Amino acid sequence: MDASLIRKELMQRKTIYDGSCEIGVETALVLPDYMGDIEKILKCSLTARATSKRIEGQRLVLGGMAFMRMLYITSDGKVESFETQIPFSKNIDLQASGENPAATVRFETEYSNCLAVSPRRIELRGALLMRARVQVSAALSIAVDIDSDGVECKKKSFEAEVPLCCVCENFTVMEEYELSAPISSVVRMSANPKVLEHKIVSGRLIIKGEVDLNIVYVSDEADGVKTAQFTLPVNHFMMVNGAEEGDRADLRLEICRLSAEPIGRDGCEIAIEVLLEAAAEILRKENVEAVVDCYCIGRESACEKGEISVTTLNKNENKSHQVCVALDNLTGEIIDVFADVKNVSASSNEHGEIMVKCDLNAGMLARDGDGEVNTFDKNMPLEISLAADREYIGSYCDGDVSVLSASRVPNKNEVCVVLLLEAKILKNESVPVINNMAISAEQTERDPKTAMTIYFAKEGEDAFDIAKRYNTSYRAVMEQNELNEERLSQNKKILIPMVK
């Protein structure tokens, strides 16, 4: 007959998709009337952001926007910047479906090329690599007790993070800033969002953060290229029903859209608008006790054993890292400084050291004494490590690297790049569990004259395993020998009562 197992459902996050795909970008564009004719294209860049993500059954439906920015020299020798937005969509078939789905999407530019087919017309060809991960909440059924006569259970307590909900919202932040010179065109604009602090209060997730803005622009009334840095404050809250203080919010901010428009008559003011996505997963720590072994006193029994995998957060690590890249044969006026990363991967070793690798591209645009503008850049592999910590041994890492800033080292042909390493250090524990138990209807025979057995146990032996070996009560063995701990700390003579 089968024993009566008392079960509990333990919710955990399960990855149902983790992969990448290529998105082609190809279009023909015509310059607006107010922009100068193209004499020479200096640099063409392509970036992308997700504008919408939703799960429909077993499909991820993604909407996005590719941002093309072309820096060029006009027929009268000026540097101008042309930018445009190209919408795209992508559907990805998933392996399964589930509750509380959440998708994380990252884009890398594989290549971009702008070709001037005429002074007013451009052909753009490029490719984006989209990396996506989709997770859902999945219930693990575990036995927490066995309600059958004569059954002895060995239980193990472990800590698990239980997902409560996933929330995702888009919101806009706006601000106006004053520039040092009137703006004629934007050469490059970048923004890095970061969370400064967050907390859960009365079912609300309160977020405080900022967006670091860097604007490179050309002014008709000032020599050379100008730069401006601003910090845009972020204050937002999201409803997280059922969440309480003490629950953990796995939170990230991402930029969906970024725009800058000159305002005012003199053109010295600029209006910044940033569309942000706040995505949060709320988790609660629970102590769970599962049955990991069992037997039946006086009867033959067989246990069907299995394992469950439980993932918990060990630590979130954020680290800034600075690297200087030397460029060869660079002379003249600096127009722009740039840097980007791709091919990010993370790993850990047996010493508990977290390693994050990526490819870094850094460079400058410069105009020489003859007015000729050229690009100087360098690609290099980069490895960033976190100090080894014993608590990280056996963990794995989900890491990302982003560029915070890129600037020229004064009086040197070097680009100083400040990177942000964000690492989520996770621990995956395998817990043995009992899936089922069968008990014989026939009782086992035992010598009626034997009431007590003496067993010489060794240090490290388990009292439950000893009781199971002699098919007697585990609790009676603990009480008879006045044991406080299940595992023996030294060699010991054990009295084993023969309980039916």
Q: Express each pLDDT in 264-277 by its tens digit.
A: 777 788 899 999 99
**Helices then strands (H, E): number in the chain?**
2, 20
Give DSSP secondary structure letters for 137-170.
EEEEEEEEEE-STTEEEEEEEEEEEEEEEEEEEE
Structure token pair of residue 500: 């039916």
Residue 395 pLDDT grade (very low, low, confident, very high; cuts 50, 70, 90): confident
Do residues 98 and 63 both lie within one domain? yes
Residue 333 has a pLDDT of: 79
Structure token pair of residue 24: 């082609």
List all residues 6 or more positions away from 411 whose beta carbon is below 8 Å from its beta carbon.
none
Residues 494, 454: Cα–Cα separation, whole Å: 6
Do residues 216 and 282 both lie within one domain? yes
| Pairwise pLDDT comparison (313 vs 467), residue with the higher score | 467
Residue 83 pLDDT grade (very low, low, confident, very high; cuts 50, 70, 90): confident
Do residues 222 and 327 both lie within one domain? no
Do residues 37 and 137 both lie within one domain? yes
439 lies in a domain?
no
Q: Which residues pair with 199 in a beta bridge?
A: 206
Q: Which residues pair with 172 in a beta bridge?
A: 275
307 lies in a domain?
no
Secondary structure class of 78 (helix, strand, coil)? coil
Residue 146 has pLDDT above 60, yes or no: yes
Q: Please compute the mean of the pLDDT values over residues 97-113 and round it to a whole number.
A: 89
Residue 126 pLDDT grade (very low, low, confident, very high; cuts 50, 70, 90): very high
Q: Which amino acid is at 30?
A: V
Residues 240, 32: Cα–Cα separation, whole Å: 46
pTM of the model: 0.79
Do residues 159 and 33 both lie within one domain? no
310 lies in a domain?
no
437 lies in a domain?
no
Structure token pair of residue 378: 């360098």
Residue 87 has pLDDT above 80, yes or no: yes
Percent of the chain with pLDDT over 90: 32
Which domain, by its residues, includes 494? 447-500
Structural domains of the chain, count: 4
Q: Which of 113, 143, 173 is the last residue of a domain?
A: 143
Closest CA to 364 of 420, 414, 322, 419: 414
Do residues 347 and 411 both lie within one domain? yes
Do residues 241 and 155 both lie within one domain? yes
Q: Which of 263, 297, 331 is the last residue of a domain?
A: 297
Do residues 411 and 455 both lie within one domain? no
Structure token pair of residue 131: 């990396």
Do residues 330 and 418 both lie within one domain? yes
